[in-house]
Amino acid sequence: MSTSQDQNGSTKREPLLRCCDAQRDLEIAIGGVLRAEQHIKDNLREIKAQIHSCISRHLECLRSREVWLYEQVDLIYQLKEETLQQQAQQLYWTGQFDPQT
- Spans of all domains in the chain: 13-96
- Residues whose CB falls within 8 Å of the CB of residue 83, separated by 6 or more in sequence, listed in order: none
Q: What pLDDT, in 10s, does the model give residues 38-97?
A: 999 999 999 999 999 999 999 999 999 999 999 999 999 999 999 999 999 999 898 876
1, pLDDT greater than 50 = no
Q: For the ranges 4-8, 19-23, 69-73, 82-86, which has the lowest average pLDDT?
A: 4-8
Contact 95, 101 (CB under 8 A): yes
DSSP 61: H
Contact 23, 30 (CB under 8 A): no
CA-to-CA distance for 53 and 56, rounded, in angstroms?
5
pLDDT at 81: 97
